[in-house]
Structure 1
Amino acid sequence: MVSKKIITSIATSAALASVGFATVGQVVPQFGNQVQTAQAATSAINDYINNNNIQPVSIQYRTGTFSRYFGYENGVGKPEGVVIHETATPGATAENEVTYFNREWPTIQTYVHAFVDDKEILNIHSADYGVWGAGQTANSKYIQVELCEVNTTDQFARSVANQAYYTAFRLVQYGLPFTPGKTVVSHDQVSRMYGETSHTDPVGYFAKWGYSMDQFYDLVGKYYNQLKTNGSTTNNGSENNNSNTNSNNTNGIIRVKATDWSYVILYKLNNDGTMSKISNRALSNGSDWQTDQTKDINGVKYYRVATNEWVPQDKVSQIIKPLA
């Protein structure tokens, strides 16, 4: 848990920002066939998720305020796994937490990649770069996601489904195996492994709902397998169709790549109809993005990947799914 406490941070030289984006939907990753499973653990919560066909919601990418861009110990875009947190703030939603941390991180010296509750998954910092959430060593290794505390069994089930999906999605995105205790770890495990923090989350909060990390691993394994085999968490391989999502079947998916730079420059559409470069954000080469529309400006075709963030045609290396 971050829990508004100061946590040891690392100060590393910054690279050009590849921050979170206010996405138009959800990016569906395209990957290989390797599948690994977690050992199943009996869980009333996981049974409830399965029996009620609860589907995780889409990941929303927001532009966060954390301005420290440092690569992991193996380099930019090379995390080693995901740390599981919980906020220790009863009743605070993902939106509440995002607002708080975007405002207060310079004072509390703490930030994570994403916040999750029963309705939303909000990613606020590029997973290509580290954050300040679990001590110096863990910060240099892991993507970090916070689970918000909720009030009912149904809300808890939906929130852990969202957190497990986010975790599985990141593992698949970065080509990482699903290895409980190694590529997916709790803050409690991080504290015991590295001794740089004393936090024990989410163990206590999970226990309140009769849940455990072993049961969470089982859920992550389920979504990991579905993403590896289908490209989505639904059995038919289609877009996520939960009623809480903003998925749109008319959306396309593009892969971006620049031949002249190690990142892809973004553009914004101005009021006068011209395009201008965005100087403080960029996309990672080879990354996949959902797009919902195109525009032709002065003979150049642009694909929209966020509310007002566009990629020119010459930086689109592959159209994985065309616009309907």
Structure 2
Amino acid sequence: MTEFNIDKTYMLDSNEGSSQRAANNLIVLHETTNVGAKNNAIYFKNNVNTAQTYVQFVVGDGGKIYQVGEEGYVAWGAGSYANANSPVQIELARTYDKTTFEKDYATFVNLARAKGKQFGIPVNLDTSNQRGIKTHYWISQNIWGSHVDPVQSYLEPVWGISQEQLAHDIATGIGESVVEPAPRTPIRDVITIKHGPVTGIAGWTSKGTIIPGSNSKFVNASNWKTVGIKKINGLAMYKIATDEYVPKKYTDQAEIVTINAIAGVNTVNSKGNKLDHILKDLTQWKTDDVIYSIACRDYFKVATDEYVDAFYTIGGGNN
């Protein structure tokens, strides 16, 4: 099981909170509505008897975990039935800093997965199965309450993390992928030069040689129609003319891929086996900009052992 560095400074004393053992059926996911994990942990600790609310773990502050309640026992976070069936409930603290959020979100997801496995609870999100990892919203819709956290209240409106994305990450682990909204009206076969020096970037031939003087036209903010992607000198490059290529890392698609498939496209694993995960048209995914050859086709890595066909990305040739 994954090891986590857990801060127990604000953990309840043995005479605080519930002493009732919980049934191993649910892991419940929340969000705090407040910024900062440490302050939320302190609040639970200091107000457990008056507010009658607390959970086992609070995640935030750049991927930190604060333990409040004893895992395996009832916490007071989601109503009597859910509490009695949840050995672990987890709060995600808010932040409006992207770097902090990415660390928080990865820890939040991976902690939920680890605790699900530890207590023998299915690692899937909000399915019709009465056992599994559940959002507080699912609890409200199926058991009791009126809460809508954490997706509808925070993850989606603030960071663009949809219910589908959270479900995928819970099922597979957080990897490197984070869905971000793509431009509303993209030109599917056009890339824009970006991140290059003021003197422009060099164009390359398919044999890996620089085209003299090409930097004068490949300047930042210039747009180029593409007809495909090729790996040259170890780099992913877009073909923009007969035997003329520009490195992906110097375009608006650097370190991401934008899906270019109206019906979406399934990802595959490193063996070329199709996965159930479908990447929706025009969603964007983080990648390392390396082309991987799988079953004689070119792919980009979007998560741990998960790849998308380069042809079905902006600039990949599916025009």
The TM-score bracket by the shorter chain reads 0.3 to 0.5
- Under a length normalisation based on structure 2, what TM-score does the superposition of the two structures give? 0.48
Higher Rg:
2
Higher relative contact order (CA 8 A, sep 6+): 1
- Under a length normalisation based on structure 1, what TM-score does the superposition of the two structures give? 0.47
